[in-house]
Amino acid sequence: MDNYAIAENFSLLSKLLDIHGDNSFKARIYGAAAFNIEKLPEQLADTPPAKIASIKGIGDSTAKKIAEMLETGKLRVLQEYIEKTPPGVIEMLNIKGIGPKKIQTIWKEMGIESVGELLYACNENRLTLYKGFGEKTQANVQESIQFYQSQQGHFLYAEAEVIFPQIDGYLKKIFSPETVHVTGAFRRQALTIEEMEFVVLENNDTIKPKFQTAQPPELLEEKDNTILYKLKNGLKLRLHTGKGKMDERLFGTTCSEEFLTAFNKTFSSIKYTGKEIGDDSVFTQAKIPVIPAFMRETASIIEKAKNKKLGTLIQPGDIKGIIHSHSKWSDGDNTLEQMAEECIKRGVEYLVISDHSKAAAYANGLSEERIREQHRQIDILNEQYKPFKIFKSIECDILGDGSMDYSNNILSTFDLIIASVHSNLKMNEEKAMMRLMKAIENPYTTILGHMTGRLLLSRNGYPVDHKKIIDACAANHVVIELNAHPRRLDIDWRYIDYAIDKGVLISINPDAHSLEGYDTRYGVLAAQKAGLTKEQNLSSFSLKEFEKLLADRKKKKKI
Ligand SMILES: [Zn+2]
Ligand SMILES: [Zn+2]
């Protein structure tokens, strides 16, 4: 072991002690030891053991640990600390702007255990509620996490979409545009992107020299028909190369494996001409409606297309109401007036304000008293903004035992209730199902919020039996949210067609915490993958239709 590795171990041990809040005196000693060891002119491995303890800044206990590392290559106490710390918490040490003390607060007080969850908490304005975290710190943390994640090659669709035009434009500039076409996961509007893929109908030998710019991307892999680069921004770029027919290469690289296998089995005599720009003629030859690239995921979609059951897909412009949004009353950035006025400016017909409930203390959740105050304000604003309407709602926490965060008496004062799980997310399927089923069966629940609690690229959702939940929502007239935040997109689109079959309404909701948060576009893109139409989406209902649905529901449930 060289000095550098020994110093690294001491440094990590010192930070972990601080993160756990254990023995700050020792933490300081190990931190200083790391600092001194790194500067030593001679290697500790070449220093006689007896001399090590007399080196400036190294005491007896440090010397013992050095001996242990030199003998075994390990430091036992460090291993123990690593084992009792979630890997995501250790990973936070890579984020600029937060030291061990802040990480301790983030982990122990905020209950956040991964970098992605931390980013989401910044987006929800949650850090500023804690001591030592001002708005500036929060903004810095947010920025350095985004940078850190991009360097890991992890991209949400929304993030990749920002970079796409640059890459597309560049490739079309250095090659003739008709030989370049985006393909793969990005063309399918996949929720997360590991590689941005393009068909480039050129040979590798022609392609590679063109990338010898001032800052050439890193070449990761090269085969006959493909080259994989890593760009400076961390994104991987895969080029499907070689002379060939565009329609053939494009169709073959766009579709998921499941789709492609099923398609080739059903339609075996497709002829490729290489003359068209896209790959629509494949479907013309198969005599079925064109299946858009973003739907080429499952085999079942081919059957639907054969039976002409694709329907008219929902579009971003079909959203008529903002359902699920947070104001300054809980953890949002803006006042209720600002939120409503922005809706009016955007031509939205109604706003469902659903701040956090009282159990969500971290998010300044509303007490019963503050609910009454908020309702008074909504009444006044509704007079002012007619015919625009603000609906009284709450994002009610589903508590650990599945009960709701308020009594039925209080719940009955809202126009509608969104029920969500925000606490104790680490649970097995049995527990998760018990909580969700109880919430769905509560007569006051109108919408089930972000069903699994997942955060894409950062946190798996708790395990649930999707079909059972959808069946229960059907039986209890509960709407299922498709949370449009590009990091959530929860319910996953793969279960939406089952919900449609069961007659359960989906609601594409922004879960906005600021005016910018009103964007539901990524939710719509995900819903399109599932074939959702506007009639099947609650937030596409006009104000009148929405009011009627709420009234009908209350009648059915006798509440
Ligand atoms: Zn929520
Ligand atoms: Zn929310």
Statement: residue 447 has pLDDT above 90 = yes
463 DSSP 8-state letter: P
- Quick check: 82 and 90 in contact, CB under 8 A? yes
Distance CA 108, CA 515 (A): 31
426: left (phi over 0), alpha (psi -120 to 50) or beta: beta
Q: Amino acid letter at 228? A: L
Average pLDDT value for residue range 224-232:
94
Statement: residue 182 has pLDDT above 80 = yes
CA of 121 to the centre of ligand 2 (A): 12
Ligand nearest, relative to CA of residue 359: 1
- How far, in Å, are 10, 99, 520, 554 from residue 102 at the CA level? 20, 6, 33, 47
Distance CA 116, CA 11 (A): 24
- Quick check: 322 and 512 in contact, CB under 8 A? yes
Q: What is the pLDDT of residue 442?
A: 97
pLDDT per residue as tens digits for the range 36-60: 998 888 999 999 888 898 888 888 8
Statement: residue 106 has pLDDT above 90 = yes
- How far, in Å, are 74, 172, 320, 515 from residue 347 at the CA level? 63, 37, 8, 14
CA of 354 to the centre of ligand 1 (A): 10
The label of the residue with tokens 């007490």 reads 367
Q: What is the pLDDT of residue 277?
A: 84
pLDDT per residue as tens digits for the range 157-170: 999 999 999 999 99
pLDDT per residue as tens digits for the range 508-558: 999 999 999 999 999 999 999 999 999 999 999 999 999 999 999 999 999
Q: What is the pLDDT of residue 148?
A: 86
- Quick check: 533 and 357 in contact, CB under 8 A? no
Q: What is the pLDDT of residue 271?
A: 92
What are the structure tokens assigned to 365, written together?
């959740």
Contacts with 166 (C-beta within 8 Å, 6 or more apart), sequence order: none
Among 333, 274, 360, residue whose Cα is nearest residue 128: 333
Distance CA 252, CA 74 (A): 49
- Cβ-defined contacts of 361-367 (< 8 Å, 24+): 362/110, 362/126, 362/129, 363/124, 363/126, 363/129, 363/326, 363/330, 363/331, 363/422, 364/129, 364/329, 364/330, 364/331, 365/330, 365/397, 365/405, 366/329, 366/330, 366/394
Statement: residue 214 has pLDDT above 80 = no
Average pLDDT value for residue range 222-241:
94
Average pLDDT value for residue range 51-71:
90
pLDDT per residue as tens digits for the range 380-430: 999 999 999 999 999 999 999 999 999 999 999 999 999 999 999 989 999
CA of 325 to the centre of ligand 2 (A): 6
- Quick check: 271 and 285 in contact, CB under 8 A? yes
Please classify residue 270 by burial: count the beta carbons closer than 10 Å to its beta carbon, then call 0-12 exposed, 13-18 middle and 19+ buried: middle
pLDDT band at 213; cut points 50, 70, 90: confident
CA of 450 to the centre of ligand 1 (A): 7
Please classify residue 166 by burial: count the beta carbons closer than 10 Å to its beta carbon, then call 0-12 exposed, 13-18 middle and 19+ buried: exposed
Distance CA 487, CA 157 (A): 9
pTM: 0.85
Q: What is the pLDDT of residue 147?
A: 82
Give the chain's end-to-end CA distance (angstroms, integer). Answer: 71
Ligand nearest, relative to CA of residue 448: 1
CA of 97 to the centre of ligand 1 (A): 27
- Quick check: 298 and 339 in contact, CB under 8 A? no
Among 157, 153, 107, residue whose Cα is nearest residue 456: 157
Q: What is the pLDDT of residue 426?
A: 86
CA of 548 to the centre of ligand 2 (A): 24
pLDDT band at 114; cut points 50, 70, 90: very high
CA of 451 to the centre of ligand 1 (A): 10
Average pLDDT value for residue range 162-186:
95
Statement: residue 9 has pLDDT above 80 = yes
CA of 101 to the centre of ligand 1 (A): 27
- How far, in Å, are 178, 242, 246, 268, 306 from residue 274 at the CA level? 11, 13, 5, 18, 25
What residues does the ion ligand 1 have nearby, CB within 5 Å? 420
CA of 553 to the centre of ligand 1 (A): 23
Q: Annotate 98-160 with three-state secondary structure.
A: CCHHHHHHHHHHCCCCCHHHHHHHHHCCCHHHCCCCCHHHHHHHHHHHHHHHHHCCCEEHHHH
In angstroms and rounded to an integer, the radius of gyration of the C-alpha atoms of the chain is: 28
Q: What is the pLDDT of residue 154?
A: 82
Q: Amino acid letter at 80? A: E
pLDDT per residue as tens digits for the range 299-356: 999 999 999 888 899 999 999 999 999 999 999 999 999 999 999 999 999 999 999 9
CA of 395 to the centre of ligand 2 (A): 6
CA of 537 to the centre of ligand 2 (A): 18
Average pLDDT value for residue range 237-262:
96
Q: What is the pLDDT of residue 316?
A: 97
CA of 554 to the centre of ligand 1 (A): 24
- SS3 (DSSP) at 14: helix
Average pLDDT value for residue range 466-470:
98
Q: What is the pLDDT of residue 363?
A: 87
Mean pLDDT score across all residues of the chain? 94
CA of 476 to the centre of ligand 2 (A): 22
Please classify residue 471 by burial: count the beta carbons closer than 10 Å to its beta carbon, then call 0-12 exposed, 13-18 middle and 19+ buried: middle
Ligand nearest, relative to CA of residue 449: 1
pLDDT band at 486; cut points 50, 70, 90: very high
- Residue 323 host element (H or E): strand 321-325
What are the structure tokens assigned to 322, written together?
């903002």
CA of 488 to the centre of ligand 1 (A): 10
Average pLDDT value for residue range 95-113:
92
Statement: residue 497 has pLDDT above 80 = yes
Q: What is the pLDDT of residue 30?
A: 94
Q: Amino acid letter at 81? A: Y
